[in-house]
Amino acid sequence: MSAYVLISGDFTTWGGMDRANYALAWHLADRVGASVHLVGHSVAAPLAEHPCVTWHRVPKPLNRYALAGPLLAWKGRCVSSNLAKQGARVVVNGGNCAWPDVNWVHAVHAAWENHAAHAPTLFRLGASCLKYAAKRAERRALRMASLVLTNSQQARQQVIDGVGLPEERVHAVYYGIDPEVFHPIDASERVSARRRWGWPEERPIVAFIGALGRDRNKGFDVLFAAWEQLCKDSEWDANLVVAGAGAEVEVWRRLAAAAGLSERVRMLGFTKQIPDLLAAADALVSPTRYDAYGLGVHEALCRGLPAFVTRSAGIAERYPADLADLLLRDPPNPVDLAERLRRWRSDMPGYSGRVARFGATLRQRTWADMGREIVALLEASTHSTVRTAT
């Protein structure tokens, strides 16, 4: 029986890289029938109970990933050193564990900087130190890998240019989707979802999904400024719903109240109910300053929602030419975003019709397709040569 070691913080069915790692682990265990060893802090069911899966649990002190990083790397090396001798393949994520086999990069630290100029000095200093350490660990781990995978062509080029890897060692593999979960929304499903959330049925709903920490990389500050501008127009009738956790959730809630927008901006905090949230929405906005891919945007498109995203995000490279008006300027700005939302509001059926074709194309590629592509690349590669960091 073939064996694999996957090292990541979490293997869950919600949230970007966690969902992708879960999908690969499930494919290896359930479709390939391999012995899969997961090194991480959490593993969601039913993956955790799969008979082919062994979970090597790593504690997360104070629930902080930064504090848990060294423990994850140490545990990953311990498990890998034992199983690699028996022929197991080892897949790490970026700089989380230096190991000379496969590195699956979900975000390229060398390609983006922190966006926390507004934050307290101590936070900015701490964030700068963490960013420096992340770049250094990423560079060392990537240079050691015999095979590097990215989630977009843009991220692939960033690895090649920013880390200095040869092109033949780096391959882009797009994420997949679960088409049974992220299927087009019909009118009755939208009404039912609105009622479950307690949202008015007569108003359009625009959704934002992303972290609301002091690092404003996800660009909610841009969306909030655009929304303030839009709500000054008495004809603007859409409401904004915001799903995401972080240190600034209460900050934005207070700012919305101060601007008289408490009824027009609804802060949900963290939620796992993303499919249901998208079922209740009419559009998604992701004015991110950096995103190697953008799974939330991908999911929204598969549900048939027009999804506005910064043109520098990895998923933007998959947009067809007739949806170029959904791609925001880089860096995103409130004036441009507000104008694009006004155009969408004036022709919602037209936007939805164009997005439906793209969503149908995206739904054709499942998580199993992604898994098969990764397995094929692993089988075509060798992992006997140990590369040391330079």
Residues 71 and 122 in one domain: yes
pTM value surpassing 0.85: yes
Residue 103 lies in a domain: yes
Mean per-residue pLDDT for 161-184? 97
Long-range interactions of 188-194: CB distance < 8 A, separation 24+: 189/279, 190/279, 190/280, 192/279, 193/276, 193/277, 193/279, 193/280, 194/280
Burial class (CB in 10 A: 0-12, 13-18, 19+), 388: exposed
- Judged against a pLDDT cut of 60, whether residue 290 lies above it is answered with yes
Q: How far is CA 271 from the centre of its chain?
A: 15
The residue among 170, 95, 77 whose CA lies nearest residue 131 is 95
pLDDT at 264: 97
Q: What is the mean pLDDT of the chain?
A: 95
Angle at 288 between CA 250 and CA 220, to 5 degrees: 25
- Judged against a pLDDT cut of 80, whether residue 1 lies above it is answered with no
Residues 155 and 213 in one domain: no
pLDDT at 388: 40
Residues 99 and 214 in one domain: no
Identify the domain containing residue 244 by its residue range.
187-363
Residue 169 lies in a domain: yes
Residues 289 and 226 in one domain: yes
H helices within the chain, ranges in order? 16-26, 65-84, 121-144, 153-163, 187-197, 220-231, 249-258, 274-280, 295-302, 334-346, 348-363, 367-380
Residues 326-336 pLDDT 10s? 999 999 999 99
- Judged against a pLDDT cut of 70, whether residue 30 lies above it is answered with yes
Mean per-residue pLDDT for 198-221? 96
- What is the C-alpha separation between 34 and 171, in angstroms, rounded? 23
Residue 116 lies in a domain: yes
Residues 343 and 376 in one domain: no
Residue appearing with tokens 């994420």: 175
pLDDT at 15: 80
- Judged against a pLDDT cut of 80, whether residue 33 lies above it is answered with yes
Residue 389 lies in a domain: no
Residues 142 and 202 in one domain: no
Residues 130 and 210 in one domain: no
Angle at 314 between CA 126 and CA 28, to 5 degrees: 90
pLDDT at 390: 37
pLDDT cut 90: percent of the chain above it:
96
- Judged against a pLDDT cut of 90, whether residue 216 lies above it is answered with yes
Residue 388 lies in a domain: no
Domain count, the chain: 2
Residue 181 lies in a domain: no
Residues 122 and 168 in one domain: yes
Among 39-43, 243-247, 365-369, 386-390, whose mean pLDDT is lowest? 386-390
Instruction: Please state the three-class secondary structure of 187-243 as a single string.
Output: HHHHHHHHHHHCCCCCCCEEEEECCCCCCCCCCHHHHHHHHHHHHCCCCCCCEEEEE
Residue 385 lies in a domain: no
Residues 100 and 149 in one domain: yes
The residue among 87, 169, 176 whose CA lies nearest residue 372 is 176
pLDDT at 383: 54
Residues 196 and 290 in one domain: yes
Residues 371 and 351 in one domain: no
Residue 390 lies in a domain: no
Residues 65-119 pLDDT 10s? 999 999 999 999 999 999 999 999 999 999 999 999 999 999 999 999 999 989 9
- Judged against a pLDDT cut of 60, whether residue 386 lies above it is answered with no
Residues 83 and 215 in one domain: no
CATH code for the domain in which residue 126 is found: 3.40.50.2000
